[in-house]
Amino acid sequence: MEQYHGTHYADSNSQSQMPYANIKRPENRRKEIDVHEALKQEMILQGVNGGFIADGEPLKDSYRRYPELTEIARKVRGDKKDEIADLKIDLKDLKPSHIQDTYIYFDSVAKKSTLSDLAAGRISWNMIEINQNTPIENIIEMEIGSFYIPNITTPLASPQYFFYDRLNLLLEEPQAQSIRAQNAVRFHWELDLQPAGISLSATPVNKKFIFQRPFRDISTATFNFRAPLKSVGFQPDVLSFVSVAASNPARITTNPPHQLAVASLVTVFVNGFSSGSSSVDNAINNQNGFIVTVIDANTLEFPPTATAGFNFAAIGVVPGTVVIGFRRIAFTVRFRSLTDDKTNGITPV
């Protein structure tokens, strides 16, 4: 049996123990404390007194952690504090908001052509389709990483196209919450541009953009590229084509014109070519791509080889799609959202 002596306890063997020593307490002195429940009680109290309620008026933002407190606020406002106890809100039913990150990979090859305008620096994607029919809602933050864009050449007597080595990128849908500049220009990220072969590396000066208020949802993502005082005029990265009948080596003509320098060598990737000849189709649709020669404003020629696939001698006019490799733009954006669903409990950095 324990005995208390001043600031010490003595156990049944007369061994002195400090009050916080790791000893088993008698059953009649134990008291279980639910820390989570105590914290929720404290949050409720703070909510009524001002954490969630401003001057007795409920904050209408749907992202607030405990929307059930709105009814309590109404009672407080109506001087009916005595009725608050009658609401009988079970703390276990209150659903706190959790943080959830969704990573989306935007590839210009998969852009929504009907809403995109590359010549005006505008590329759009169907978010619902990319995210497999799962909406992204209550967005509070976006983060982008480094990526590459095609360099745009100018005549020798003209300044460089990206003279300031800067690129501004705007996600149009939530543009009401963005960085504002002169002449009503808006953007979410500023990126530093540096030479990287035939491309430019774009590195964000600040990776994250934090919204003042959660953005409700996003079904279409349209990015606007600026340089920074003008819209960036990108050239087409995906072109339709038809094969040149009976050509050997194999040739294709693009529509619209490819805007590539005549006699240059360019890496391309073909898909959707179906002539009925398995050897030809398998060769042309090879996912490893090819280095083709630019013949004229519309015509590309595949390298001469003994492989039957590069011989269109027995092939007529067949359509397909060709991707100009160095013009492809791809980047990842992390969307951080508030959700009622349970997460892993780890606070993201």
Q: Can you tell me the distance from the alpha carbon of 136 to that of 338, in angstroms, rounded to the nearest whole number?
A: 10
* Residue 304 pLDDT level (bands cut at 50, 70, 90): confident
pLDDT of 41 reads 58
Tens digits of residue pLDDT in 290-302: 999 999 999 999 9
Write down the pLDDT at residue 140: 94
Q: DSSP states of 280-324 as a string?
A: HHHHHT-TT-EEEEE-SSSEEEPPP-S-GGG--TT----EEEEEE
The per-residue pLDDT for 39 is 61
Confidence at residue 28, expressed as pLDDT on a 0 to 100 scale: 52
Q: Give the lowest-confidence range in 226-235, 239-248, 305-314.
A: 305-314
Question: In this predicted structure, what is the pLDDT of residue 313?
Answer: 87
pLDDT in tens, 76-120: 445 554 554 454 445 445 555 688 999 999 999 999 999 999 999
Going by pLDDT thresholds of 50, 70 and 90, the confidence category of residue 273 is very high
Q: Residue-wise over 244-262: b if at least 16 C-beta within 10 A, else e?
A: beebebbbbbbeeebebee
Question: Is pLDDT above 50 for 62?
Answer: no
Alpha carbons 170 and 186: distance in angstroms, whole number? 7
Q: Where exactly are the structural domains of the chain? A: 3-93, 131-232+329-339, 238-327
Return the CATH number of the domain spanning residue range 238-327: 2.40.30
Q: What pLDDT, on a 0 to 100 scale, did the predictor assign at position 80?
A: 52
Query: What is the structure's pLDDT at 156?
Result: 86
Q: Look at residue 57 in the predicted model and tell me its pLDDT.
A: 38
Chain centre distance of CA 345: 21
Our CA dihedral for 137, 142, 148, 149, rounded to 10 degrees, sits at 70
Question: By the 8 A CB rule, do 347 and 141 touch?
Answer: no
Percent of the chain with pLDDT over 90: 57
pLDDT value of position 50: 42
Quote the pLDDT of residue 155.
Answer: 87
Tally of CA atoms within 13 A in the half-sphere of 144 that contains its CB: 23
- The residues, any chain, with a CB within 8 Å of residue 202's CB and separated by 6 or more, are 146, 147, 148, 149, 167, 191, 192, 193
Q: Rounded CA gap, 274 and 254, in Å?
A: 16
CA torsion, ordered 185, 189, 193, 196, to nearest 10 deg: -130
How many angstroms separate the Cα of 123 from the Cα of each of 198, 238, 328, 348? 21, 13, 11, 29
For the residues 279-287, what does the mean pLDDT come to? Answer: 90
